[in-house]
Structures are given as C-alpha cells and as structure tokens.
Amino acid sequence: MRILIVGAGAVGGYFGGRLAQAGRDVTFLVRPSRAIDLGRDGLRIISPHGDAVLTPKLISAEETDTPYDLVFVSVKAYALEAAMNDFAPAVGPETMILPALNGMRHIDLLTKRFGEHAVIGGVCLVAAEIDDQGRIVQLADFQQLIYGERNGETTPRLERLDATMRGAGFDARLSPDIMQAMWEKWVQLASLGAITCLMRGTIGEIVAAPGGAELSLAVVDESAAISNACGHKPSEALLSRHAAAITAPGSSLTSSMYRDLRKGAPVEVDHILGDFIERGDAHRVATPLLKAAFVNLRVYQDRLPKH
C-alpha cells in the first residue's frame, strides 16, 4: 500500500516512522519548516521499544497530485480543515482515510468533504511528544493503532490494511466495532484531560490532595454518562481500568491537553470537551465538572495570541 502520513508530529511521526522502518511505502506530507528539520536531522524516535533515525520520504502540499491507498491523518483537531485542503489531491475513489484524531467532530468534517466511503474509523493509543530538539519521544510503552469500517463490516480493503499494519513494530488491530472503541477513548481522554487541566497537575499530584481521587472519579462518571446517553455504553472492564489509572497514587500520568497547556500551546478544548458536553446536553446529562474544565480552558485559549 502507498501510505501518506499527514504531518510528522508526535503521533504521525511515530506510527509513520515505525511503518517506514518496517519497509512499508510511506511518504510524509509536511510543512516547509518541518521538512527542513527532517531533511537536516532525519526523523528521530526515542522510545522504550527502540530508538530510530530515519530518512523519510517527504512531500509538500503543492507536490501532492496522485492518489494514495491510505491517508493517515493525525494532526491536531484545530488544524484539520487546513490539512484537508493540503491532502485533498491525494484522495482518489479508492483511497481510505484513517483519522487518529480525538472525539467525533472530525468524522463529520471528513465525510462531508470526502464522502462516507472514504473515511474509516481509527483509535490511536500512544503517549508521545516532540521535544525541544525536534525528536519524537515516546513517554510510555503502550503503542496501539485500532481501525475498522464504521458500519462494523469486515471488508477486503480493511483486511488489506490490517495486513499492512501488522508486524510494523506497534500493536495493530482490526476492530469489528470501531465506533465503540472511539467513544470509549473519548470517555478516557475527556475525563483525564478535564481533571489534569482543571487541577493543573499529574494524577499523582491530584490524588495526593484531599478529595482528589473522588473528584477524578466524578469526572469519569460524567464522561461515561454522556457516552451511555449517546448509545455507546462503556464496558465495565474499561471503566474499572480507567478508574484505577486516574486514581493511582504517585502516578505521573497526564493528558496531551495538559502537556500542551504547560507549553503555552493551543489545546483541543472544543473538540475533546466542547463537542462532548454538547452531545451530553442534547440528552440532558448534567456535567458540571466537565463544564468547569471547558470554561477554564476556553479562558486560557482565548488569551493566546491570535495567528
């Protein structure tokens, strides 16, 4: 398969790098500034699963003119609309678009632009960031990519995708219920993002404060209630694991939103929390803690310099 990775940030760079390292046909669509860095230093990965320095195939938006078999989209949600313009020439009649974004709003945007058939579902589980040297640093050892047809069918194109993804140096799985997996990730992400950003700390720091663990669990309950009301009840096993993770004493666990917040960077507040809360409001689900986090982050976001 000819694979186009849109962006070479922490997520796209990590999974695209591992695919390239495994000999897959991978090209990265990058901005000029990132192209300069990658051309000079290579694509550098620092990981518990092994470090790597790769010389990636790069392409700019202006150079994209032929369809790819797979377009892997992992930009931040607020950058999606601009990215769609950049990769549109790479989408042909049989191209699969695999988004690894958070929440659900991106599915609406992608299907409106490229049609229902082009867009498959995806869940990406990895903790990674770009450090001050431009390297992709994996912060924990989990690295999973899940994908599937949004209607739950197992199709020949997904079997082909699965064969391409397996054995590429990360956990790859074809899901028969990708929408459920996407909603369950949203529950985890919204609750972890809300509590770490609202309390401005790691899970260990929050739990160490009196009432911190109870507050964390209350945010999980609000998040699960939204998902349940929207027809995607999280499994008891997932909620049990997430509750344990979000109340673990001494844990250094944070969210990507909190790490962006600490850097003074934009956050995905509208996509991870705003859209989530709106869907809960439509079903009259009370979410005071999620709303407090949302307002808090919107105040932060609105103070940032406008580009």
Q: Where are the alpha helices (DSSP H) in 3-79?
A: 10-21, 32-41
Q: Look at residue 151 in the predicted model and tell me its pLDDT.
A: 94
| Structure confidence at residue 77 as a pLDDT band (50, 70, 90) | confident
What pLDDT does residue 219 have? 98
pLDDT above 90 for 141: no
Residue 216 region by backbone torsions, left for phi larger than 0, else alpha for psi between -120 and 50, else beta: alpha
For the chain, count helices (H), then strands (E). Answer: 13, 10
pLDDT tens digits, one per residue of 212-241: 999 999 999 999 999 999 999 999 999 999
* pLDDT of 64: 84
pLDDT at 258: 95
For position 149, what pLDDT does the model report?
97
Active site residue 185: yes
Residue 172: CB atoms within 10 A of its CB come to: 21
At 109, is the pLDDT very low, low, confident or very high (cuts 50, 70, 90)?
Answer: very high
> How far is Cα 186 from Cα 272, in angstroms, rounded to an integer?
7
Q: How confident is the model at residue 167 (pLDDT cuts 50, 70, 90)?
A: very high
pLDDT at 306: 77
Choice among 57, 112, 185, 263 that is catalytic: 185
Mean predicted lDDT score pLDDT of the chain: 94
pLDDT in tens, 235-288: 999 999 999 999 999 999 999 899 999 999 999 999 999 999 999 999 999 999
| pLDDT tier, 3 (very low <50, low <70, confident <90, very high otherwise) | very high
Query: What letter does residue 228 receive in the DSSP assignment?
Result: H
Q: What is the pLDDT of residues 28-60, one digit of tens each?
A: 999 888 889 888 999 999 999 989 999 999 999
Q: Are 103 and 276 in contact (CB under 8 A)?
A: yes
Residue 300: the pLDDT is 96
Phi-psi region of 144 (alpha: psi -120 to 50; beta: other; left: phi over 0): beta
Cα dihedral 39, 18, 259, 183 in deg (nearest 10): 130
User: Which whole number is the average pLDDT over 96-105?
Assistant: 94
What would the pLDDT profile of 17-30 be if each residue is shown by its tens digit?
999 999 999 999 99
Beta carbons of 185 and 283 less than 8 angstroms apart: no
Question: What does the alpha-carbon distance between residue 169 and residue 173 come to, in Å, rounded to a whole number?
Answer: 13
Runs of H (alpha helix) within the chain: 10-21, 32-41, 80-87, 105-114, 156-165, 178-199, 203-208, 212-229, 236-246, 256-263, 269, 275-282, 288-303
For residues 96-109, average pLDDT:
94
Q: Which two tokens stand for residue 30?
A: 């990058």
Report d(CA 79, CA 268) in Å as an integer.
Answer: 10
Q: Is the pLDDT of residue 307 over 80?
A: no
Kindly report, residue by residue over 187-200, the tens digit of the pLDDT.
999 999 999 999 99
